[in-house]
């Protein structure tokens, strides 16, 4: 499934956030695995290269692993970049 040639809409922001956190793809995969997400370095590479679909659950877990607001990963609105939403 693609939308305007994209497999996902988070690929650019995920890579930026991972690098800002000074994490390798392996490091991020390890953090995701602690959140019970079965993902490895190659899968993260494919996501960042826009070659793999990302589930909603994975988006939320990426946000937790990187201490980001998941809405920022989806939208890119700068005011939402840090922290998770306060209302849950």
pLDDT digits (tens, 9 = 90+) for 17-58: 999 999 999 999 999 999 999 999 999 999 999 999 999 999
65 found inside a domain: yes
36 found inside a domain: yes
Q: Which residues contact 76 (CB under 8 A, 6 or more apart)?
A: 13
Domain count, the chain: 1
3 found inside a domain: no
Range of the domain at 16: 11-74
Q: Which residues contact 83 (CB under 8 A, 6 or more apart)?
A: 67, 68, 69
pLDDT digits (tens, 9 = 90+) for 16-26: 999 999 999 99
């Amino acid at each position: 499934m693609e939308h305007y040639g994209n497999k996902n809409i988070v690929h650019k922001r995920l890579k930026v956030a991972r690098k800002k956190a000074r994490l390798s793809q392996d490091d991020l995969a390890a953090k995701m695995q602690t959140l019970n997400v079965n993902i490895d370095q190659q899968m993260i590479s494919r996501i960042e290269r826009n070659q793999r679909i990302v589930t909603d659950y994975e988006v939320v877990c990426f946000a937790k692993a990187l201490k980001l607001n998941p809405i920022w990963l989806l939208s890119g609105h700068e005011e939402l970049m840090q922290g998770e939403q306060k209302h849950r």
